[in-house]
Structure 1
Amino acid sequence: MGIRVNGAPSSAPDDPGPSAAEHLRDRLGLTGTKIACGSGVCGACTILVDGTPAASCLLPADHLAGRDVTTVEGLDGRHPVQRAFAAHDGLQCGYCTPGFVLEASVFVDAWRAEHGDTRPDRATVADALAGHLCRCGAYEGIFAAVAAACAGEFDTEADQAPPRADAPAKVTGRARFTADLAPPGTWEGVIVRSTVPHARVLKVSADAGPDGAPAPLADLLGEDRLVRYVGQPIAAVAAPTRAAAKALAKAVRVDHEPLPAVTDPEAARSPDAPVLYRTKQERAAAPTYGEAPTPSAPWNGNVRGPGVLSWRGPTAVARLRDASRRGDPLLVAEEYTTATQVHSPLEPHVSVASWADGDLYLHVSTQSVSKIADRAAKRWNLPRERVHLVTEYVGGGFGAKNSLSPDVVAAVELSRLNGVPVRVSLDRSEELTDAGHRPGTRTRVALLAGRDGSLRAMSVDSYGDGGVSVGSNAAVLAALMYGRSPRRVRDFDVVTNRPPGEPMRGPGGPPMAWALEQAVDTMARRLGEDPLSLRRRWDGNPKRRALYERVAELPLWRDRPRGKRTGRFRRGVGLAAAGWPYLLAPRARVELVVEGGTLVVRSATQDIGTGIRSVLGDVVADRLGTDAANLRVEIGQSSSVHGTGSFGSRTTTSMGPAAADAADRLREALRELSPDVPASGPVPEHALKEALAAAEGVSVVGERGLDRWGQLTPDMADLAVGRGMSGAVHVMEVEVDTLLGRVRPARCWAGIAAGRIYSERLARNQCEGAVVQGVGYALFEERRDDPASGVVLSDNLEDYRIPGMGDVPETEVYFHQEGFEHVVGGGIGLGEVSVVGVAAALGNAVYDATGHRQHDLPLRPDRLIGDQR
């Protein structure tokens, strides 16, 4: 019995093994149906079966027989929901978007049939889309898009182009992610991982295959032949199908010599604990989870550190010790902890590799095209021009996709060994185990105030819990807050036999703010002072001070409830301040080339949902006075000029000025060919068209240029620290159910000070998404490990919960766009600073509601209920 797919007849699956998602993607090429969680939790694989939404990752393919199936490709961009999603920017990376669109289309059609062209309220939309997750956090745009489509506002084409240039490709499923790519003849690779926390590997062998020969093994171990955590890659195998590759991997034998292991941070600090890194060379080779180079620090067993930063540190320590001895009530000394937060982008780590005539061809889901191509060339001893890396679209990253990760190495080695293209894709369990995380922390904060309310001393000691990795910087970031009073901050790492961390959005920032900002609130109450007033006095950062002035007039803050709350449901409002260093990429380049009368914008940068593809086109178009629709933007290819990686809040502030410089250089080149091109201002449409026709093949390359005041550090592999810091203030309103211990974020105001905003809607979306991720960090996200073996237990999206649409507050974003006039382009990055203070603001709001200070993240119901008793 056949099936109908998108209105056309199709043969029914003849193999009962695959899921409906696999059949649609691999057999029919309908890759708009995404596979993310594999367990029916995230909604990315949603299809319509006889008009009803279904999770195709759980639906056996043979159950489609005799059914009418619609995928996102079947909507063909004609449904009002698709136009509304594009217009309201209800997406970021776009990986989850097809599933949202299909579910929303059914809801919108049913709503309008019953209610007419009216808007559903926020709770109704959240309920309708409860089975869908967006890790980027684009929920505010989704709420707006669904409501507008229900009201009939997008029954016809929108008058204006969407703010995101690639929105049409993403809402229709045409955007091709690395997970969607498999050249003809591609084999599937599977990684063999350690099942023990610590061992010396003696031998790795594979059973003979059907042809009598053992499957070729790609070796993924280092020279020391050690495994240091459960889940560490050891080897990889490949076969024509994933099922066959899994069978081969299961048959691989790993002979090893067990070694003592320690999987608990407290136990690791004991003098008699097994030591992970015994030699200087081993310690130097320990993986790091910081974005910048990790400075050297002493080691004592499994403890690395302290890394110290101080300003009149001895004075601070002496004042704090003296205050402790005399029991000074204006000494706040508290300890705070945060749990491990996992990146978990919905598109997993995935790589496709092939070799041809000695050249290496790669498709990688990466945030750093140029860097990964450079590292691949170095690892496989190739000239850089013989590495061809393409990343057209990336389904989220958040800092986890910046390295030459095991999936890349395995794909390349397996392709070389087997002589065919090989794809290696992590499943959700692997993604949640060994693809990176924000390490947990234990942070001690001590603040001393004078009788006049001034800050007299600060001390912060933070211990990072990054498994086998190091790179704690939470305490250092605290030193950059609240003026120049005497302070000493110290960062430590405690290494254990658990998976390594990776940089995650604002590395070190959220745990720092969770501790410091709650301590500041505690001090305000000791002083009998309003928390906003105290920050306004202590904080010398002019950008945050401008935000404080705004908060003072904000009804959410000004009209908040005061005094003790009673009853089961209690509302509270809290705030937190944040800062983030200004980072830039000195080597950013943008090329403009004329091809066939069309102006093409090229760079090897990448867009993980931040919108740099749109920014590049808009900057060039604005500089020349034309429409961005007249340009073609091509990013994500290593053959292009160097583009900075999409991480570190440096992409737009680096690539935007490079695009402007390229546009200015092109204008000069065109003026030599056409007298009608003006020296400045908009280029008349006819003049630009004629000039481009005469400029076939003309190419110019723009650079970022130098800031007026220079930069604080030299170029560190395309990373430098500029002068100045971005600022943020978040105000959060929550409702606490004191009976069940549940916290419901109701409203959030996010004030961001990062100078010029290149694209307001895209920037707003980033800041709204940061609030979503901060709420997840505060309330739900907690990687759980087996204390005996270090095995990750929360290795699926049921046990590791990320926020859905019903979990997030209604968010308003305000941009303060002054203060960075010395910066080329006038603005700096905002992706990091917009997430740093969210959890702390929520924690302060919970205290305001309940009168109980929470010290540990996440704010689980058992912790809140315990404090109410």
Structure 2
Amino acid sequence: MDDVTVNGARHPAPRDPDTTSAEHVRDGLGLTGTKIACGSGVCGACTILVDGSPTVSCLLPSDRLAGRTVTTVEGLGGTHPVQHAFAAHDALQCGYCTPGFVVSASVFVDTWRADHGDRRPDRDTIADALSGHLCRCGAYEGIFAAVAAACAGEFDAVPDREPPRRDAVDKVTGRARFSADLAPRGHWEGVIVRSAHAHARVRAVHPGAARTRAPDPGGPAEGAAGASAAVPEDTPVFTDLLGDDRTVRYVGQPIAAVAAPTPGGARAAAAAVRVEYDPLPAVLDPDAARAPGAPVLYTTRDERAAAPSYGEAPTPPAPWKGNVRGPGTLSWRGPTAVRRLRRAARSGDPLLVSGEFTTASQAHNPLEPHVCVASWEPGGDLYLRVSTQAVAKTAERAAQHWGLPPDRVHVVSEFVGGGFGAKNALSADIVASVELSRIARAPVRVVFDRSEELTDAGHRPGARTRVALLADRSGNLSAMSVDSVGEGGVSVGSSTAALAFLMYGRAPRRVRDFDVVTNLPPGMPMRGPGGPPMAWALEQAVDAMALRLGEDPLALRARWDGNPKRRALYERAARLDLWRDRPRGPRTGRFRRGVGVAAANWMYLIAPQAQVELSVEGGAVVVRSATQDIGTGIRTVLAGSVADRLGVPASGLRVEIGRSGPVHGTGSYGSRTTTSMGPAAVQAADRLRAALRERSPSLPAVGPVPEHAFKEALVSSEGVRVTGGRSRDRWGQLSPNMAGDLALGRGLSGAVHVMEVEVDTLLGAVRPTRCWAGIAAGRVYAERLARNQCEGAVVQGVGYALFEERRHDPVTGVLLTDNMEDYRIPGMGDVPETEVYFHEGGFEHVTGGGVGLGEVSVVGVAAALANAVHDATGWRPHELPIRPDRLIGGLR
């Protein structure tokens, strides 16, 4: 039989045609740089070279590798110019898709240079070459720059400068180990059994031949069908996941889970599980759910209280009427605004602008799916290797759930392949893997496939928002009304209208948030929860008002907006060639260019309990915290903050994060990580300097420290350990600590996006060409990494505006867009060339001087694009996404 040569080494060729090449390379050979994401050849994360040709290994049966030569990202050796360029240009964020990009780009660069010499390819050529790859974080601007620079020969030698991202080299070489990569030898594979009904009572769940408890040496295992002797220890295991509530309320809801020593065995065991249902009436459409006599999802007070929430903060109480919840307590009834708007409507006031705007639900869809590898150690400790945005919180919740002392739960999350709000909970992958591991007495890995990820791992709920604006005869805002209905399936927590309360001064306003529940999967918080649907409605209404007043849309916003930080962005945007030279008046012809603008804000959130520990170990400083890096760069921020404060090179520090322990680190959500962890690191650095000076008084009290003096101080301070926390802001905070580690600070961040599009009026296609993103979030801790986040936010906003839409079968509730062909996210050819500008003033009262920017940078993108489409065509998009059929229909 032919061998296969992998990275220069010969191996026996695999025989199993049911195993993919990706599975063989990863699990058979341990080359985990090859990632599995979509499972259908769409995203490119699993790309390897087969006989020198880029190949998606998730579609190639492993037995087809016989006699072939394979190169994985590890085989590039970390020396290819593309790897140097990707690291130097920060052409990555979470890094999960990076190995696939690097492998394909290495072939393109080598071929291009052989054909064209050291000449830069243009943007469209690079996009075409890498069209088979997707980055959910949206790091495309850096990828364009990196590939062009590598083609130009700029990275043939090892760069003499450290890359801007601390873990970049690990990610471009495939050394970064994500949760699924950490499964030990001998682990079992778990599979979740999910509901086939949108609404039903589960009468019984039969585990088939799977056992339901650990083998008992003295007798048969419980759950083994007809066993009269001890069941073999490799018999599949089963656990029930429903708990006391035996009602399933959507297709895909977890019911049970099974595990076996092999993936095929686990799938077979799952297929053997039999569920007995009593079907119940279901409502699958928000309008039907509101109709008189509609089946009610939550019939008791306890059921309503237990409804899942898609908000980040605790969900405030609200009244229920059937399947409708609201208005919430954060709503503002605004009697003055209501009187003025009603009077204007009765009189036909031309300065009244109103409309209804809808948004589809947007899946988080991180390329690294939900995954947990759980193991119970002999002493009773629980280890969770899990993809999470909240290491410390996951450990705390796991200890509570399984009744363990906190120090007996150990959560490891070294690298996280994106999250965007989907990975904050004690999710089904965690619960299933822990319970199955207890029964199997072996580590168990549970990984969502892409269908599960798109169905039941969270999404930004759809919304239906009515907005009304009234201007007075001077063109000032006289009244505002925003009513929004969230459509989060079985979940609640709309805050869309409430966010409009914070925009455009203090004119009288009414804002009301409602939810309508249906038998569809639950939403979860997603980057700027409530913000993008609010901006989609409000910012288009503001543009319509500018037209009604005959005023420049940017100038009107500057006049209405009382936020000084956003005013600075308006002034900057007004001077852009992109804005000043935009087309004016009606446009004709097939291809029409338009430019639109939208403003946004976001709350300033804090993690009051954030901590950073510095210790002297082996003559070096170790920076340690139980936080995690989901691609936003907190490793780099921690190292840079400590190094700057101590006056030493960051390269000499060792950063250890992604592990639970006594040093509490904040979760990565709510745009609060950097603004909380950075100041905690600074305080820890001050305390370490003081401790070092006690042993080495000659060490400077402030400023840079000479290298020799620092090394001498560390030698005499072995074992010194200090902890820093985040001190209070000068003006305090607006709220107490909520939800364990969340508080509201004083002030709002701001953003202004200016978007240019080209509209093909024949095919209904919208192509974003350029975007300017102005961000006002105070001090920027790591400039290139922050810029990368904001560029990625534009990519995600473009996806929200043009492509992303979860669709369900209207009869069964089955998700139809459960793969990455039917659920489309932007690729490199879909995104505009983006320029990011930071306004760094306005937060001098904040400890550290800066606040989060991950949320505010995405809120207004889709609205700016919609306003650009209207500018180009005269047609106002009311439904999101802006599909070709909708655009063509609107132009008729």
TM-score w.r.t. length of structure 1: 0.99
Q: In the alignment, is residue 318 of structure 1 matched against residue 319 of structure 2?
A: no
Aligned 1:347-496 pairs, distance under 5 A: 347-356=368-377, 357-496=379-518
Shift in Å, 1:309? 4.6
Q: In the alignment, is residue 546 of structure 1 matched against residue 547 of structure 2?
A: no
Within the candidate set 308, 315, 321, 1:300 is matched to: 321
Kept after mapping to 1: 8 A contact 2:332/2:511 = no
Counterpart residue type for residue 62 of structure 1: D
Counterpart residue type for residue 474 of structure 1: T
Name 2:251's counterpart in structure 1. Answer: 230
Aligned 1:472-621 pairs, distance under 5 A: 472-621=494-643
Shift in Å, 1:3? 1.1
Kept after mapping to 2: 8 A contact 1:309/1:488 = no
Name 1:704's counterpart in structure 2. Answer: 726
Q: Per-residue displacement from partner, 1:203-222 (whole Å, max 9, x unpaired)? A: 11122259956843212113
Q: In the alignment, is residue 747 of structure 1 matched against residue 762 of structure 2?
A: no
Paired residue secondary structure (1:161): coil
Counterpart residue type for residue 309 of structure 2: T
User: Compared with structure 1, are the counterparts of its residues 80 and 300 closer, same or farther at alpha carbon in structure 2 (3 Å cutoff)?
Assistant: same
Shift in Å, 1:640? 4.6
Name 1:91's counterpart in structure 2. Answer: 92
Kept after mapping to 2: 8 A contact 1:625/1:682 = yes
Name 1:266's counterpart in structure 2. Answer: 287
Kept after mapping to 1: 8 A contact 2:626/2:660 = yes
Kept after mapping to 2: 8 A contact 1:581/1:724 = yes
Name 1:54's counterpart in structure 2. Answer: 55
Kept after mapping to 2: 8 A contact 1:42/1:132 = yes
Name 2:859's counterpart in structure 1. Answer: 836
Name 2:875's counterpart in structure 1. Answer: 852
Paired residue secondary structure (1:511): helix
Aligned residues: 869
Kept after mapping to 2: 8 A contact 1:339/1:439 = yes
Within the candidate set 355, 360, 365, 1:334 is matched to: 355
Q: Per-residue displacement from partner, 1:489-547 (whole Å, max 9, x unpaired)? A: 00000000000011000000000000000000000000111101110110000000000
Aligned 1:625-664 pairs, distance under 5 A: 625-664=647-686
Kept after mapping to 2: 8 A contact 1:777/1:858 = yes
Counterpart residue type for residue 51 of structure 1: G
Between 3-12 and 571-580, report the one with greater CA deviation: 3-12
Counterpart residue type for residue 308 of structure 2: P
Matched residues in 2 for 1:443 and 1:822: separation?
Answer: 35
Kept after mapping to 2: 8 A contact 1:308/1:488 = no
Q: Per-residue displacement from partner, 1:182-210 (whole Å, max 9, x unpaired)? A: 11210000000000011111111122259
Name 1:821's counterpart in structure 2. Answer: 844
Matched residues in 2 for 1:643 and 1:279: separation?
Answer: 38
5+ unaligned residues in a row in structure 2: which ranges?
A: 211-223
Counterpart residue type for residue 329 of structure 1: P
Name 2:752's counterpart in structure 1. Answer: 729
Within the candidate set 800, 805, 808, 1:782 is matched to: 805
Matched residues in 2 for 1:809 and 1:789: separation?
Answer: 38
Q: In the alignment, is residue 250 of structure 1 matched against residue 251 of structure 2?
A: no
Kept after mapping to 1: 8 A contact 2:236/2:265 = no
Shift in Å, 1:14? 2.4
Matched residues in 1 for 2:50 and 2:236: separation?
Answer: 40
Shift in Å, 1:308? 5.1
Shift in Å, 1:312? 7.6
Matched residues in 2 for 1:175 and 1:676: separation?
Answer: 40
Kept after mapping to 1: 8 A contact 2:237/2:260 = no
5+ unaligned residues in a row in structure 1: which ranges?
A: none
Moved over 6 A (4+): none
Matched residues in 2 for 1:663 and 1:684: separation?
Answer: 16
Q: Per-residue displacement from partner, 1:739-775 (whole Å, max 9, x unpaired)? A: 0000000000000000000000000000000000000
Q: Per-residue displacement from partner, 1:286-326 (whole Å, max 9, x unpaired)? A: 00000011100000000000125566810000000010011
Paired residue secondary structure (2:328): strand
Counterpart residue type for residue 783 of structure 2: E
Kept after mapping to 1: 8 A contact 2:354/2:466 = yes
Kept after mapping to 2: 8 A contact 1:312/1:486 = no
Q: In the alignment, is residue 772 of structure 1 matched against residue 795 of structure 2?
A: yes
Kept after mapping to 2: 8 A contact 1:570/1:738 = yes
Q: In the alignment, is residue 810 of structure 1 matched against residue 811 of structure 2?
A: no
Counterpart residue type for residue 311 of structure 2: G
Name 1:719's counterpart in structure 2. Answer: 742
Kept after mapping to 2: 8 A contact 1:353/1:415 = yes
Name 2:213's counterpart in structure 1. Answer: none
Paired residue secondary structure (2:773): strand
Q: Per-residue displacement from partner, 1:112-152 (whole Å, max 9, x unpaired)? A: 00110010000000000000000000000000000000000
Counterpart residue type for residue 443 of structure 1: T
Kept after mapping to 2: 8 A contact 1:207/1:215 = no
Kept after mapping to 2: 8 A contact 1:605/1:636 = yes
Shift in Å, 1:79? 0.1
Matched residues in 1 for 2:650 and 2:520: separation?
Answer: 48
CA RMSD of aligned residues (A): 1.0
Matched residues in 1 for 2:330 and 2:188: separation?
Answer: 51
Name 2:141's counterpart in structure 1. Answer: 140
Kept after mapping to 2: 8 A contact 1:340/1:437 = yes
Kept after mapping to 1: 8 A contact 2:595/2:867 = yes
Kept after mapping to 1: 8 A contact 2:332/2:512 = no
Name 1:116's counterpart in structure 2. Answer: 117
Paired residue secondary structure (1:126): helix
Aligned 1:17-96 pairs, distance under 5 A: 17-96=18-97
Q: How high is the sequence identity, in percent, across the aligned residues? A: 76
Counterpart residue type for residue 328 of structure 2: G
Name 2:218's counterpart in structure 1. Answer: none
Counterpart residue type for residue 841 of structure 2: E
Counterpart residue type for residue 244 of structure 2: E
Q: Per-residue displacement from partner, 1:168-194 (whole Å, max 9, x unpaired)? A: 000000000002121121000000000
Name 2:301's counterpart in structure 1. Answer: 280
